[in-house]
Amino acid sequence: MDEVKLIMTFENSSGDKTMINISGVRPDITKTEVDALGNFLVDKTIFSYKNSSLTKYTGAQVQTIHTEILA
């Protein structure tokens, strides 16, 4: 069984970096879709970090975790 996570990195107005992890993303998600989401989250001030709005989307990675259950 595979689990796919999207790990997005942002900066706030103080320059502090934070990550947002989203589980259950499509394995075929594109860079264009991820970049659009990152910019949307910044533009709409959806999240904050250390009492400061996220001001910059800096990148992302897709992580696939394969779990094999042994009986």
* pLDDT at residue 10 in the model: 97
pLDDT at 32 over 90: yes
In a domain, 71, yes or no: no
Q: How many domains are contained in the chain?
A: 1
pLDDT band at 37 (very low <50, low <70, confident <90, very high): very high
In a domain, 17, yes or no: yes
In a domain, 7, yes or no: yes
For the chain, how many helices (H) and strands (E)?
1, 4
First to last CA, the chain: 14
- Average model confidence (pLDDT) across the chain: 93
* pLDDT at residue 70 in the model: 93
In a domain, 13, yes or no: yes
Burial class (CB in 10 A: 0-12, 13-18, 19+), 71: exposed
Q: Which domain holds residue 51?
A: 2-66
* pTM given for the model: 0.86
